[in-house]
Structures are given as structure tokens and as C-alpha cells.
């Protein structure tokens, strides 16, 4: 029996994780946390019977409490609630399927209480990787990647301990706007950006895929997870999303992981690593596929990726500013307050405005996040579409 807790159980990764629980009878859910979807949380509690459940707002938690009054589940809320789920003694693995850097404190708390992390919440690693990775090592816990590219790299590293890596090949689908130029991007609306060609995901990461910010976050995620230099990570656009990423070794040999675009494989792999469990999903048919193609990412048009490299090279608190500005800008775009191209523009303006902190602690990271939000709030009114 393996006991898992999930932060973000009602989202895209969260619900797919619970499908894996349904399919594997030796997984037990001890705790679930979500933002505001009380209805789905009630359903999940009735089906998976966790001891603890958290909703973000007190109001949602009170509503949930009324709905599940007949069950022996404790309902909590807010950051305290997330921390309680993250550290509950019953759980062995915490699946971090929450979106955004709100995951930093619960992830750190879970590591400190000895839990392995199945990490989907990349924003946490991007902003606090310098704290999380050494802490995980010190506490003897594993950070198991759920992001498909990082799972592919993790799988490609199997049995290669001690062999020197030449580079990591991080594949990208290119998103819904691949091949488009700046003039066309100006006109793109929320519904256009939400149409991802290969993956069905939460709204924030889908927008991040359209701007290529997601790939930028993934470059930073890979740097922390695999302890490689930025110069050793190459982004390759591969529109079919069959090669999920690869590792090139010093003899020139490349080991890659391939499969259909389906997040359930990386989620299940993280939960059962190093065991591979049966999985009843669509297989790659090479004859049907016909060909796989590759392109260079267009960083002149998709400046989000260029800015990510810049933030990663600067280091310190700059990745936090990059990430926080993106979180805020994406939310403004989804609310139709800014245009698509203003997302990277707001990130760039925030990075220019920021005074760098070399080695930020958690409080300084959260402070930089708050300052970035304030800056955007004050800047957004006089922002003009370039």
C-alpha cells in the first residue's frame, strides 16, 4: 500500500492522478486539497475517503464541511490547510498538482516531514529550486518529476549513473501559435490561446504553452532537477509531441523516452518509480505517425522563452520575478484585461524594474512576488500594446 496526498486534486493533473488511484488498488488517498471546486471535492471525498481535505477559502471549506458532515473527514482551509495536508503523517508521497508559486511553502514543509514529492508544480522549483533541491537531499527524500519532459529525462537517465551528460534535449510542441509572427500574435484572443494542439491541460499552463513561457519555466525546472548548466539544455520544437525529451551522453549517444502525449504515464511513473505498471492507453503507431519533425524555437517572436533564459542566467530572485510577472499577466490575459503580446511585455518590464537579490530565502521570494504583483498593478493601466 502506498499512501498519497494531492495538492490540486480537482485540476488537470489532480484528476488524472485520481484516475491512476482508481486503476491501482494499492494506492490510498490520505489528503486532498483544492481551490474552489467544492462540488468535485465532495465527489472525490466520497469516492477516495481521505482523512483530511482542504479548500482555499474559508467559505468554500465551510460549504464542503456541510456537504460531507456524514463522513469522518476533517476539513481545513487556507495556507494552514495546505500545510496540514502537505505534512500529514499518514502520507508517504505528496503530489504537487497545484498551480503557481503558492506551492512553495507546502512543498518545503512536505520535504521537511520526509515525504517524497511527485512534482508537477514547476513554478515552485523555478522560484525556489535553490532551496528545495538541497533540502530534499538533506532530508533524504526524492523529487520525482511529473512534467512529461522531465519525466522523459528522468527515464532516459535510468542506469546511467556516473555517465557524463553532454546535453539535455528538451522538446516543445511549439503550442497553438507555432509558425506565427508578431503581427498575427497581436490579434490572438483567449480562446485561440486555449486551443493546444496536443495536450489538454489547465488554463494557466495552456497559455504558458502558447507564449513558450512554459518551455522557459521547464528549462529552469530541468536545471534544478538534473543539476545541469543552462548551456547544456537545448530546446527543440517537435510538433508531434512523441519524443518527450532526451539525454545526450558524452559518446554522442542519445537516449529518449517516447510515447503518445498523455500525462498519465509520467504521473504513474512518478508514483511507482522505479516500477512500470501496466497502462491501458493509446500506443505510438509509427506507421500512422509517418514522420517526426524538428525546428528551432523562434525566440524573436516568442520572447517569453528568451526572457526565461535571461532570468535563469541572472539567477537569484530574477526567476521569481519572471514567474510572478507571468502568473499575474496570464491571469490578466484570461480576464481579457491585456492582450496576448502584453504578457511577455509585462514580464520584461517587471524584470527591468526589479532590484536583484542574490540568494533569496523563502520570505524574500514571497516578497519579490508581492512587489512584482504591485508593480504590474500600477503599470498595467498605462500599458500600451506595442
Q: How far is the CB of 148 from ligand NAD (least distance, A)?
A: 6
- The only residue of 64, 86, 101, 102 in contact with ligand NAD, by rule CB under 6 A: 102
Q: How far is the CB of 147 from Mg ion (least distance, A)?
A: 4
Give the nearer residue to ligand NAD in terms of CB position, either 27 or 99: 99
Angle at 184 between CA 179 and CA 187, to 5 degrees: 135
Query: Rounded CA gap, 143 and 95, in Å?
Result: 10
Query: Rounded CA gap, 300 and 287, in Å?
Result: 35
Q: What DSSP character marks residue 230? A: G
Near ligand NAD in 270-309, by CB under 6 A = none
Packing angle of the helix pair 362-380, 342-353 (nearest 10 deg) = 120
Contact status, residue 345 vs residue 311, Cβ threshold 8 Å: no
Give the nearer residue to ligand NAD in terms of CB position, either 246 or 330: 330
Give the nearer residue to ligand NAD in terms of CB position, either 169 or 263: 263
- Answer with the entry of ligand NAD, Mg ion, none that 122 interacts with (C-beta below 5 to 8 A by kind): ligand NAD
Point out which residues bind Mg ion (CB under 5 A).
Answer: 147-149
Give the nearer residue to Mg ion in terms of CB position, either 149 or 298: 149
Query: Rounded CA gap, 33 and 347, in Å?
Result: 29
**Contact flag: residue 261 with ligand NAD (CB under 6 A):** no
**Contact flag: residue 50 with ligand NAD (CB under 6 A):** no
Which of 313, 301, 298 lies closest to 344 in space, CA to CA? 301
First-to-final CA distance of the chain: 56
Contact status, residue 277 vs residue 268, Cβ threshold 8 Å: yes
Q: What is the dihedral of CA 229, 235, 240, 244, to 10 degrees?
A: 0
Angle at 116 between CA 114 and CA 119, to 5 degrees: 135
User: SS3 string of 133-153?
Assistant: HHHHHHHCCCEEECCHHHHHH
Q: How many CB atoms lie within 10 A of CB 209?
A: 24
Give the nearer residue to ligand NAD in terms of CB position, either 213 or 368: 213
**Contact flag: residue 199 with ligand NAD (CB under 6 A):** yes
Give the nearer residue to ligand NAD in terms of CB position, either 38 or 237: 38
Angle at 227 between CA 225 and CA 229, to 5 degrees: 120
341 alpha carbon, distance to own chain's centre: 22
Nearest-CB residue for Mg ion: 147
- Answer with the entry of ligand NAD, Mg ion, none that 121 interacts with (C-beta below 5 to 8 A by kind): ligand NAD
Query: Rounded CA gap, 345 and 216, in Å?
Result: 15
Site string for ligand NAD, 213-252 (x = CB under 6 A): ----------------------------------------
Q: How far is the CB of 174 from ligand NAD (least distance, A)?
A: 16
Give the nearer residue to Mg ion in terms of CB position, either 147 or 371: 147
- The only residue of 128, 201, 307, 343 in contact with ligand NAD, by rule CB under 6 A: 201
Q: How far is the CB of 385 from ligand NAD (least distance, A)?
A: 27
Give the nearer residue to ligand NAD in terms of CB position, either 10 or 342: 10
Contact status, residue 339 vs residue 113, Cβ threshold 8 Å: no
Query: For ligand NAD, which stretch binds (CB under 6 A), given 10-18, 153-161, 269-277, 307-315?
Result: 10-18
Preceding amide of 265 cis, omega within 30: no
Judged by DSSP in three states, 59 sits in helix
Site string for ligand NAD, 59-88 (x = CB under 6 A): -----------------------x------
Query: For ligand NAD, which stretch binds (CB under 6 A), given 22-30, 121-129, 136-144, 312-320?
Result: 121-129
**Contact flag: residue 338 with ligand NAD (CB under 6 A):** no
Q: How far is the CB of 104 from Mg ion (least distance, A)?
A: 19
Q: What residues contact residue 157 under an 8 Å CB cut-off, 6+ apart?
A: 165, 226, 247
**Contact flag: residue 33 with ligand NAD (CB under 6 A):** yes
Count of residues binding ligand NAD (CB under 6 A)? 28
Q: How many CB atoms lie within 10 A of CB 42?
A: 17
Query: Can you give the binding site for ligand NAD, defined by CB under 6 A?
Result: 8-14, 33-35, 37, 56, 82, 97-99, 102, 120-123, 147, 199, 201-202, 204-205, 263
Amino acid at each position: 500500500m502506498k499512501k498519497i496526498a494531492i495538492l490540486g486534486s480537482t485540476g488537470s493533473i489532480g484528476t488524472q492522478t485520481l484516475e491512476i488511484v482508481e486503476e491501482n488498488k494499492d494506492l490510498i488517498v490520505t489528503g486532498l486539497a483544492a481551490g474552489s471546486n467544492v462540488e468535485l471535492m465532495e465527489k472525490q471525498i466520497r469516492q477516495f475517503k481521505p482523512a483530511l481535505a482542504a479548500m482555499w477559502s474559508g467559505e468554500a471549506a465551510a460549504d464542503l464541511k456541510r456537504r460531507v458532515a456524514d463522513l469522518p473527514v476533517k476539513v481545513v482551509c487556507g495556507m494552514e490547510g495546505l500545510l496540514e495536508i502537505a505534512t500529514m503523517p499518514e502520507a508517504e508521497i505528496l503530489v504537487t498538482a497545484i498551480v503557481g508559486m503558492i506551492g512553495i511553502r507546502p512543498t518545503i514543509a512536505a520535504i521537511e516531514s520526509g515525504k517524497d514529492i511527485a512534482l508537477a508544480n514547476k513554478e515552485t522549483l523555478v522560484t525556489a529550486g535553490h532551496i528545495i533541491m538541497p533540502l530534499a537531499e538533506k532530508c533524504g527524500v526524492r523529487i520525482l518529476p511529473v512534467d512529461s519532459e522531465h519525466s522523459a529525462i528522468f527515464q532516459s537517465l535510468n542506469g546511467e549513473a556516473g555517465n557524463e551528460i553532454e546535453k539535455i534535449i528538451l522538446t516543445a510542441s511549439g503550442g497553438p501559435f507555432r509558425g506565427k509572427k508578431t503581427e498575427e500574435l497581436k490579434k490572438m484572443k483567449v480562446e485561440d490561446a486555449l486551443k493546444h494542439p496536443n495536450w489538454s491541460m489547465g488554463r494557466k499552463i495552456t497559455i504558458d504553452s502558447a507564449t513558450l513561457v512554459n518551455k522557459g519555466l521547464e528549462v529552469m525546472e530541468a536545471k534544478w532537477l538534473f543539476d545541469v548548466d543552462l548551456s547544456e539544455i537545448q530546446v527543440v520544437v517537435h510538433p508531434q509531441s512523441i519524443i518527450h525529451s532526451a539525454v545526450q551522453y558524452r559518446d554522442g549517444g542519445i537516449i529518449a523516452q517516447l510515447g503518445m502525449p498523455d500525462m498519465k504515464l509520467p504521473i504513474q511513473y512518478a508514483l511507482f518509480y522505479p516500477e512500470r505498471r501496466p497502462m491501458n492507453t493509446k500506443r505510438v503507431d509509427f506507421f500512422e505517425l509517418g514522420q517526426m519533425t524538428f525546428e528551432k524555437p523562434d525566440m524573436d517572436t516568442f520572447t517569453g522563452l528568451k526572457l526565461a533564459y535571461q532570468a535563469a542566467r541572472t539567477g537569484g530572485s530574477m526567476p521569481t520575478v519572471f514567474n510572478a510577472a507571468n502568473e499575474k499577466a496570464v491571469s490578466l490575459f484570461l480576464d481579457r484585461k491585456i492582450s496576448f503580446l502584453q504578457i511577455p511585455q509585462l514580464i520584461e518590464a517587471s524584470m527591468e524594474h526589479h532590484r536583484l537579490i542574490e540568494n533569496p530565502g523563502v520570505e524574500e521570494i514571497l516578497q519579490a512576488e508581492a512587489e512584482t504583483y504591485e508593480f504590474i498593478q500600477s503599470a498595467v493601466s498605462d500599458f500600451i500594446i506595442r
